[in-house]
Amino acid sequence: MGKFLSVFSVRNMLVLSLALNVSLFLRVLVLHDSQDGSFIGLRFKKQNRQQEVTSPVSHSSSSSSSSSLTMAQGDEDRIINLDHGDPTMYENYWQKKGDETTIVIPGWQFISYFSDATNLCWFLEPEFAKQIVRLHKVVGNAVTENRYIVVGTGSTQLYQAALYALSPNTEAEPISVVSAAPFYSSYPLITDCLKSGLYKWAGDARSFSKKGPYIELVTSPNNPDGFVRHSVVNRSEGILIHDLAYYWPQYTPISSPANYDLMLFTVSKSTGHAGMRIGWALVKDKEVAKKMTKYIEINTIGVSKDSQLRAAKVLKVISDSCERSNIEQGDSFFEFSYRLMAKRWKQLRQAVHQSGLFSVPDFPPQSCKFLRCVFEPQPAFAWLKCEGEIEDCESFLRGKKILTRGGKHFGFSPKYVRISMLDRDKNYDTFVERMSTIRL
């Protein structure tokens, strides 16, 4: 028995070591590729053989469609994955900033669960809170006076905390949660993930007619179509959550400070630091803020201090860059990101026009109080429509090796797809080039 075990373990060790080496080899290739700007464009350098590979990042709802495409040499054959809104286009700006955003945390610091035991949100780092208030003042996009700040592990956690806090626990049935279609594709998934007895996804707000209380999500500017939005159900029993992830000047003119009861923000789309997993809620009602804090306490016992401190530093550098930009033109983060989004939308509109097969929305120009100019919204996603006979736009583009998220994920028609505008330059440029040459 002992002999058998020793032979068995040696063999197993050999197999395990082989598997580890292969996986290490693949990881090196993925990392190498991600650094040169084509995260999804994996290229295997094996002799004369095209390999079937699975996208290292794939959205659960569309992974089946993106998992078995064949890779080949050359940009014209490379798969371009614009399914996710991964904000890597900001990398260049932060790279140029060098050490300005570097923080060092000694091993003995920030080891307690608590950040400020006297604050309602006891795990909120005071410096982060200070920089949130400062940035909203500088940009003028949200009222922070008389608001409680609740920090979350991304605004995704805050959305769940808000549902928990706003749902009445006296009702026999879960409260309905609605949003006007096309709505952010994660809302239904997150809402119904645990089949809660407190709340339940009830779909498109425009066709919602059930009597009684409800929660309406208002995403403005909207993901996926980029339009400015207001609540649509408009009944007295409605409770509103405003998801303002994209209410920043690179995406839309800032007309006035948002002033709603519960507003969600995230660094993911404002500064591009999605990997920090930091969001914040501005909450008017003390009891709601307390319940949200309680949810996060039960869920993750607070939010990473390291991430909050890093986020505080990034927000500070942005506010500094905005205040300095009056003197040093062009250094401000929002001027940089505004110009880049403007360039990308111009490129896309040209490509769409050249191809003749697609359309993208037109937006009315508006005055931006922050940038002090009039411009058309330039959303983080393009809500692209396949015109004519193409009924399934996602499949059609997949055939051209462009991965997008189809309209059905957003409660809408499959003639539409959502395309991320936030990828790295190299991927984006290849994408628009390919779009301009697509024919039936």
Could you say which residues in the range 250-289 bind ligand PLP, by CB under 6 A? 266, 268, 274, 279
Cβ partners under 8 Å of residue 271, min gap 6: 90, 311, 314, 315, 318, 333
* Interacting residues with ligand PLP between 64 and 103 (CB under 6 A): 85
The tokens for 36 are 């040169």
245 binds ligand PLP (CB under 6 A): yes
Q: Could you tell me the smallest distance in angstroms from the CB atom of residue 57 to ligand PLP?
A: 13
Question: Does 185 help bind ligand PLP (rule: CB under 6 A)?
Answer: no
Task: Choose between 41 and 221: whose C-beta lies nearer to ligand PLP.
Answer: 221
Provide DSSP, 330-354. T--HHHHHHHHHHHHHHHHHHHHHH
131 near ligand PLP, rule: CB under 6 A: no
188-to-163, 195, 200, 253 alpha-carbon distances in Å: 12, 11, 9, 29
CB nearer to ligand PLP: pick between 167 and 266 = 266
Binding range to ligand PLP, per CB under 6 A, among 149-157, 358-366, 401-409, 432-440 = 149-157
* Closest CB 326 distance from ligand PLP, rounded Å: 30
Q: Is 284 helix (H, G, I), strand (E, B) or coil?
A: coil
Residue 154 found at the interface with ligand PLP (CB under 6 A) = yes
d(CA 240, CA 261): 8
Q: Which residue has the tokens 């400070």?
A: 257
Q: Are 410 and 424 in contact (CB under 8 A)?
A: no
> With respect to ligand PLP, which residue has the nearer C-beta, 278 or 435?
278
- Distance, in Å, from the CA atom of 140 to the CA atom of 115, rounded to the nearest integer, reads 27
- Spatial separation of the C-alpha atoms in residues 132 and 137, rounded to whole Å: 9
Which is nearer to ligand PLP, 368 or 422 (by Cβ)?
Answer: 422
Which is nearer to ligand PLP, 154 or 407 (by Cβ)? Answer: 154
Among 156, 299, 366, 436, binds ligand PLP (CB under 6 A): 156
Distance CA 138, CA 315 (A): 11
* Closer of 131 and 268 to ligand PLP (Cβ): 268
User: Smallest distance from the beta carbon of 143 to ligand PLP, in angstroms?
Assistant: 20
DSSP string, 44-94: ---TT---B---SS--TTTHHHHSSPBP-SSGGG--EE-SS---GGGHHHH
Q: How far is the CB of 120 from ligand PLP (least distance, A)?
A: 21
**Closest distance between ligand PLP and the C-beta of residue 38, in Å?**
21
When CB distances to ligand PLP are compared, the closest residue is 154
Asked if 243 touches ligand PLP (CB under 6 A), the answer is: yes
Quickly tell me which residue has 């309680």 as its tokens.
294
> Site residues (CB under 6 A) for ligand PLP?
85, 154-156, 184, 219, 223, 243, 245, 266, 268, 274, 279
